[in-house]
């Protein structure tokens, strides 16, 4: 096996492993990425990993994909980035696909159905918790502590009442509108600690 | 046609999903409900499954919906749609696109968008709570078991934080709620 093929295989295998063993997504993944890509393989530096995290925060999409793409591209160009990303998504795709085939059958069991009823409490807690964490962080990082409220409270009220009264409303317009307002409100006073990429 | 619709929906979600998986959930929920792909409670179930299986949560949700809508081809299209935007963005960033992202005008726009998504997250989290505890607004019915579960889990969270200075991982919270759900309903 020549060396180039070996690295591609290694990329695929490593990201396959990361994709198969990180539960909880997002930030839970960073520690495993750090161990595999930075410490074990020396593919990227921990500085680079930090930069990817910051970039991931200001761009959409799953952070793990960002890291796989970056590392793959750095090592083996376009093809490397495809291989690494593919390796990353393969395990969960297979698992979820298998689950999706049996899930409705499983749900016909009344104990499991009740368990999932209980789980909706967990989902409520997890999403609300994550929202509160992000809101407090953004208020701390903002120079004018109350400025984020200008965006958060109206969007909360609009979306919550639309949900409550089953009014159909596309939030995409709201997101773009907030971006538009953000341009004027935050103008040139962007806080370095929140946005700057080294 | 169904496949194109699926792909475009997920492409849109992939390019708007700022703020990690939890930021993406409100957007996914809206998209899925507006197309009538899943019911609200089924979507919540899928979020639970996506949280408790490995891999990025956003992708897991996309995979499930893709599988539900169009089998293996659906899975491929939904996954591709979600990852393509971030894949392209990172490629551009590596080819020195950083300076654009660093521009203060771009940063202010992103900041406004992200704070909007925080509001969406809060609304979605609390609305799922409202549905779980009180059901439909036209026919309010207090779910005592759900409130009991919330109380027990909140105590667990508080104890873990105060006593062990630890936050419970999402999987543990889901498992506790699942066990309590099985017992109390």
The pLDDT profile of chain A, 198 residues, written as one tens digit per residue, is 567 778 899 999 999 988 887 776 666 677 778 888 888 889 988 878 877 777 777 778 787 888 888 899 989 989 999 999 999 999 989 999 999 998 888 888 888 889 988 988 998 998 898 889 888 888 888 778 788 888 999 999 998 998 888 787 778 888 889 989 999 888 755 444 444 443
A133 lies in some domain:
no
What pLDDT does A197 receive? 40
CA geometry: angle at B55 spanning B172 and A31, to 5°?
A: 75
What pLDDT does B98 receive? 62
What pLDDT does B96 receive? 66
What pLDDT does A26 receive? 61
ipTM over 0.85: no
Return all residues near B17 (Cβ < 8 A) that are at least 6 apart: A60, A61, A62, B23, B24, B27, B28, B58, B82
A56 plus A9 within the same structural domain = yes
Under an 8 A CB cutoff, do A122 and B48 touch?
A: yes
A89 plus A11 within the same structural domain = yes
Kindly list the residues from chain B whose CB atom is less than 8 angstroms away from the CB atom of residue A178: 112-113, 115-116
What pLDDT does A120 receive? 87
**Which domain covers residue A121, as residue numbers?**
3-128
Q: How many CB pairs under 8 A join A and B?
A: 387
Per the structure block, which two tokens stand in for A100? 């999706």
Kindly list the residues from chain A whose CB atom is less than 8 angstroms away from the CB atom of residue B131: 120
Specify the 3-state DSSP secondary structure of B140: strand
A121 plus A183 within the same structural domain = no
How close are the terminal C-alpha atoms of chain B, in Å? 42
A65 plus A113 within the same structural domain = yes
What pLDDT does B53 receive? 85
What pLDDT does A195 receive? 44
A156 lies in some domain:
yes
What pLDDT does B179 receive? 93
Report the gap between the CA of A3 and the closest CA in chain B (Å). 24
A146 lies in some domain:
yes
Could you tell me which chain A residue has the CA closest to the CA of B103?
A196
Q: How far is CA B129 from CA A123, A131, B60, B164, in A?
A: 8, 14, 22, 27
How many domains, in total, are found in chain A? 2
- Mind giving me the DSSP string for B153-182? HHHHHHHHHHHH--PPPHHHHHHHHHHHHH
Closest CB from B16, B59, B124 relative to A60: B16
What pLDDT does A93 receive? 92
Residues of chain B with pLDDT under 70: 96-98, 100-101
Could you tell me which chain B residue has the CA closest to the CA of A174?
B116
A 111-170 residues with CB below 8 A of B?
Answer: 111-112, 114-132, 134-135, 138, 148, 151-160, 163-165, 168, 170
Record the pTM: 0.79
Could you tell me which chain B residue has the CA closest to the CA of A99?
B64
Per the structure block, which two tokens stand in for A33? 């990425």
């Amino acid at each position: 096996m020549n060396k180039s093929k070996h690295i591609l295989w290694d990329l695929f295998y490593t990201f396959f492993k990361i994709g198969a063993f990180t539960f909880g997504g997002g930030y839970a993944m960073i520690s495993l990425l750090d161990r595999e890509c930075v410490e074990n393989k020396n593919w990227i530096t921990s500085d680079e990993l930090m930069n990817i995290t910051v970039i991931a925060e200001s761009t959409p999409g799953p952070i793990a994909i960002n890291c796989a793409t970056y590392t793959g591209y750095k090592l083996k160009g376009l093809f490397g980035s495809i291989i690494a990303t593919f390796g990353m998504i393969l395990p969960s795709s297979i698992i979820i696909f298998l689950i999706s085939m049996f899930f409705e059958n499983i749900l016909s069991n009344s104990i499991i159905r009740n368990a999932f009823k209980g789980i909706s409490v967990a989902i409520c807690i997890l999403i609300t918790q994550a929202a509160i964490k992000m809101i407090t962080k953004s208020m701390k990082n903002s120079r004018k502590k109350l400025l984020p409220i200008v965006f958060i409270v109206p969007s909360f009220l609009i979306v919550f009442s639309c949900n409550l009264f089953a009014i159909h409303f596309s939030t995409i317009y709201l997101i773009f509108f907030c971006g538009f307002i953000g341009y004027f409100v935050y103008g040139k006073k962007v806080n370095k600690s929140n946005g700057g990429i080294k | 046609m169904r496949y194109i619709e699926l792909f475009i929906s997920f492409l849109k979600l992939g390019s708007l999903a700022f703020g990690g998986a939890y930021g993406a959930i409100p957007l996914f929920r809206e998209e899925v409900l507006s197309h009538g792909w899943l019911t609200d409670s089924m979507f919540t179930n899928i979020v639970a499954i996506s949280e408790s299986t490995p891999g990025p949560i956003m992708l897991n949700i996309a995979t499930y919906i893709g599988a539900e809508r169009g089998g293996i081809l659906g899975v491929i299209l939904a996954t591709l749609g979600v990852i393509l935007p971030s894949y392209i963005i990172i490629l551009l960033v590596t080819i020195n696109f950083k300076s654009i992202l660093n521009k203060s005008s771009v940063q202010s726009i992103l900041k406004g968008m992200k704070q909007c998504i925080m509001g969406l997250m809060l609304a979605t989290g609390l609305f799922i709570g409202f549905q779980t505890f009180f059901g439909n607004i036209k026919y309010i019915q207090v779910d005592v078991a759900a409130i009991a579960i919330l109380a027990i889990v909140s105590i667990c969270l508080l104890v873990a934080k105060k006593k062990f200075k630890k936050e419970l991982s999402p999987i543990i919270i889901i498992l506790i709620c699942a066990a309590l759900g099985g017992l109390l309903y």
